[in-house]
Structure 1
Amino acid sequence: MNHEAGRRSKIVLVGFMGTGKSTVSRLLAEQLGYARFDTDEEIERSQGKRVAELFAEIGEAGFRDLESGMIQELLSRKEPAIIATGGGAVLRESNREAMLGGSLVVALKASAEQIIARVQSDSSRPLLQGDVAANVNRIMEQRKHAYDFAHLVLDTTSLNVHAVCATILQTRETK
């Protein structure tokens, strides 16, 4: 394996909830023949509990500790992989640095209206309990620059999953 291919053997998807990270990660993994990991799914599997339960039991800070550990573990694996992260994974500097250290980091964005439409009926999102629209707008404002560190920032509002994947693969060839 040449240096460039090894350096980009992982693609990490970051972005606010509802921007398409899980959907895009599935198609990218299929197209590239890579393993696919979703940090939230991996945490649930390792802890035997849903993310919402973990938030309730150990709080957001405790969950972020689990998330950081999982990100480190997934990035350290040798196999090529697509890694979809939770929306708040970028809040820790150590996570951002780890992601940038050898992976292509892609931030997916979408309009608040599109995100609300995508997540409003999903009761498994602990940060959205109550007024979904107000919570989405508040958290988006808090995190408006949190994803700017990525190699590629891609607005998925009006793109289908195939267009998003094509853009990521094209960028991967040139970065």
Structure 2
Amino acid sequence: MIPPDQHLVLVGLMGTGKSSVARILAERMGRNLCDTDAEIERQTSRTVREILLQEGEPAFRIIETGVLVAALAALEPAVIAAAGGVVLSEQNRAALADSKAKVVWLRAEPSTLVERVRCGMHRPSIEHDPEAGLRAMHEVRDPLYREVADMIITVDGRSVHEVAEAILR
């Protein structure tokens, strides 16, 4: 159960369905939706891919932190789909812990993620070898997602509606 006065934050690797599940949850819960990647693109008038290619990952991570902190500071509880790499920053992990938000890790096996993201490659870090890139991300980030998660939902073999239902139970 998600307390009515807490933000609900979805974390996980790209391809886990964070954005789609967040849209369903926001509608079902009657809450605002904040997709941090979409908000970054809105604020910068550039795609995440363009930012990564033009300015590099460190610059992107700074923007990402600002968007996350602002979303967590919003007074009205929202559903927040956090960018996949948000947990790489100790500052972001602390912000999640300090916010008292309910953090849900959408977890998937790399093989599931490869199938899901293969059609829509938009991250320079994985476009040449998606499977190796996703496996490397999985290895580095899984312990960090586990550190911040209040709830872990496995998404392998589940539709976004089934994942949303599992979170709401």
2:29 pairs with 1:19: no
Q: Which residue pairs with 1:154 in the alignment?
A: 153
Percent of matched pairs sharing the same residue: 39
2:79 alignment partner AA: I
Q: Which residue pairs with 1:128 in the alignment?
A: 126
Alignment TM-score, normalising by the size of structure 2: 0.92
Identify the match of residue 107 of structure 2 among 101, 106, 109: 109
CA RMSD across the alignment: 1.2
Deviations 1:1-51 (A, max 9, x none): xxx632x2x100000111110110010001011111110100000001010
Q: Which residue pairs with 1:88 in the alignment?
A: 85
Q: Which residue pairs with 2:29 in the alignment?
A: 32
Identify the match of residue 143 of structure 1 among 116, 124, 141: 141
Structure 1: gaps of 5 or more residues = 171-175
Deviation at 1:168, TM superposition (A): 1.4
Q: What is the CA–CA distance in structure 2 between the aligned matches of 1:34 and 1:105, rounded to whole Å? A: 16
Identify the match of residue 55 of structure 1 among 31, 52, 56: 52
* SS of residue paired to 1:128: coil
2:100 alignment partner AA: G
Q: Which residue pairs with 1:67 in the alignment?
A: 64
| Between 102-111 and 90-99, the greater mean CA deviation after superposition | 90-99
* SS of residue paired to 2:76: coil
- What is the number of equivalent residue pairs in this alignment? 165
Deviations 1:139-164 (A, max 9, x none): 21222312102000111002222222
Alignment TM-score, normalising by the size of structure 1: 0.89
Structure 2: gaps of 5 or more residues = none
Q: What is the CA–CA distance in structure 1 between the aligned matches of 2:108 and 2:66, rounded to whole Å? A: 27
* SS of residue paired to 1:126: coil
| Between 60-69 and 123-132, the greater mean CA deviation after superposition | 123-132
2:15 alignment partner AA: G
